[in-house]
């Protein structure tokens, strides 16, 4: 089955909501999660797509998170699970909507040619509170990580133009054992297997920042406090 680039999305940060809202989920917030579909070719550079941007640059963007991808098939699941039809392609703030490719089918280091670009899987996305704010589902970040339907990031090995409808050609798969789904299970386990955490930290094509975090976790055997990430100001 061929892997398709179903749609391409880009967008710059914008502010929405009401400053004085009593309900935290209605308050003012700024994010680049609101992206628009691109018609025609778009340049994919080392640090992102032309016309795209991030707000919290300490957590988003940069060469290891140049392109955020999400599976089209996941949206069918979320629409049924949450009963929200507005959760559709582009809803998670992704740049690439992937067709026929999900978290259980793609691994760290997988390298693809698409259009003129060559891109490589660098890490899973660690979901934060912003998709929850967008769709008014406070637990959405937890649901994303617990199901493993987080999406993933690509680094860009060769810059170039890409366009929706193009096919992904697999060039290399060095770590088939480290699917994005498996990584999520290791990273977000309620009772971590610290040997697996250590092994994942040694995967050479995992993003360096995540490797360092997991190496420290394997050494200290401490489970991180995720509350600020998954709930943030939504509480």
Encode the chain (235 residues) as per-residue pLDDT tens digits: 699 999 999 999 999 999 989 999 999 999 999 999 999 999 999 999 999 998 776 667 789 999 999 999 999 999 999 999 999 999 999 999 999 999 999 999 999 999 999 999 999 999 999 999 999 999 999 999 999 999 999 999 999 999 999 999 999 999 999 999 999 999 999 999 999 999 999 999 999 999 999 999 999 999 889 999 999 999 8
Q: Minimal CA–CA distance to 13: which of 65, 70, 51?
A: 51
What does the pLDDT read at residue 17? Answer: 95
Q: How many domains does the chain have?
A: 1
Tokens of 176: 């088939």
What does the pLDDT read at residue 55? Answer: 76
CATH code assigned at 31: 2.40.33.20
Q: Minimal CA–CA distance to 155: which of 70, 69, 94, 64?
A: 64
What does the pLDDT read at residue 59? Answer: 66
d(CA 139, CA 161): 37
d(CA 65, CA 124): 10
Q: Minimal CA–CA distance to 175: which of 120, 99, 100?
A: 120
Domain span holding position 207? 3-234
What does the pLDDT read at residue 56? Answer: 73
Helices (H) and strands (E) in the chain, counts: 7, 13
d(CA 23, CA 92): 22
Find out whether 168 and 5 touch, Cβ atoms under 8 Å: yes
């Amino acid at each position: 089955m061929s892997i398709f680039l179903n749609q391409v999305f880009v967008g710059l940060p914008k502010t929405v909501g009401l400053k004085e809202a009593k309900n935290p989920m209605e308050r003012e917030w700024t994010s680049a999660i609101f992206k628009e579909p691109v018609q025609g070719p778009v340049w994919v550079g080392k640090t992102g797509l032309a016309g795209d941007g991030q707000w919290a640059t300490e957590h988003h963007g940069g060469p290891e998170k140049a392109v955020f991808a999400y599976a089209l098939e996941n949206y069918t699941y979320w629409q049924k699970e949450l009963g929200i039809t507005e959760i559709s392609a582009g809803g998670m703030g992704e740049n690439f909507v992937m067709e026929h490719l999900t978290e259980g089918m793609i691994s760290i280091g997988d390298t693809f040619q698409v259009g003129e670009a060559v891109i490589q899987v660098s890490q899973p996305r660690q979901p934060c509170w912003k998709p929850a704010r967008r769709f008014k589902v406070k637990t959405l970040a937890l649901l994303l990580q617990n199901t493993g339907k987080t999406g993933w990031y690509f680094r860009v090995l060769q810059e170039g133009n890409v366009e929706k409808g193009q096919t992904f050609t697999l060039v290399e798969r060095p770590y088939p054992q480290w699917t994005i789904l498996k990584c999520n299970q290791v990273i977000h386990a309620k009772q971590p297997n610290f040997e697996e955490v250590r092994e994942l930290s040694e995967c050479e094509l995992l993003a360096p920042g995540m490797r360092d975090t997991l190496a420290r976790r394997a050494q200290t055997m401490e489970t991180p406090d995720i509350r600020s990430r998954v709930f943030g100001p939504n509480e």
